[in-house]
Structures are given as structure tokens and as C-alpha cells.
Homo-oligomer: A and B are copies of this chain.
Amino acid sequence: MPKKPTFSRSPCPLAVSLDILGDKWSLIVIRDLFRGVTRYNDFLKSPEGVTTNILAERLKRLEAHGLISKSAYQENPVRYDYALTEKGRALGPVLREIARWGNAHYPGTYKPPFKVG
């Protein structure tokens, strides 16, 4: 029988989404993937300055939740490219609206130069 989804806090779509995305780094990683970043070291170069342990943990979490996937781009040693899944790409409108709100209320923030969604 199909497993019934269990909701950590409530069946509210906002609460369920925040359980996955509600922190200061997950959406920054998603943003970078939209920008075209695919490799560990390049995520580290973003101006927000995520630390190595947090980045590694977030990449694992986002993969576990099906928002991103990784594929080896070389063997010996094996190294990975990260990419958005459909589910991750579907966050485009969320990023767009958050950025729009930030632009409207925090003068000096830049307009995203990349297409999101």
C-alpha cells in the first residue's frame, strides 16, 4: 500500500515547504544552480560565503528531498556536477517573488541578472 505522507508540523503547504527550505542557505544554493553553478567549489565562491560543512550538508539534504541531483563528471577521484531536478526548477517563481520583494523593500539590492524559472 502507498505510504501516506507524514507532515512534520502540519499539512499546510507553506509549513511543509519551510521544513525543507526554511533556513538561510538552501535557497541560496538553489539560486546558484539557477545561475549556472554546478560544482562544490563554485558554490563556495558566492559572495554570501557559505562554509564547507554547511554546503556539503545542504547539498545532501536537497538531494535527499529530490530538489537537486548529482552526476559524476570524472572518475579517480569521482567528482560531481549538481543540477536542479524538475522539482527544484519549479522553485523559480518562489525565487522570483522573494527577489522582487527584496528589490522593492531594500534599495541597493541588485536586480537578478539571470533568468529564474
User: Footprint of B on A, CB under 8 Å?
Assistant: 4-5, 7, 9-19, 21-25, 27-28, 31, 46-49, 87, 90-91, 93-112
Copies of this chain present in the complex amount to: 2
Give chain B nearest CB distance to A65 CB in angstroms.
Answer: 9
Beta-carbon nearest neighbor of A8 in chain B: B48
CA separation between A87 and B101, bound complex, in Å? 9
| Residue from B19, B49, B110 within 8 A of A12 (CB atoms) | B110
| Residue from B9, B17, B98 within 8 A of A99 (CB atoms) | B17
Q: Is the CB of A102 within 8 A of B22?
A: no
Q: Is the CB of B94 within 8 A of A101?
A: yes
Residues of B within 8 A of A46 (CB): 10
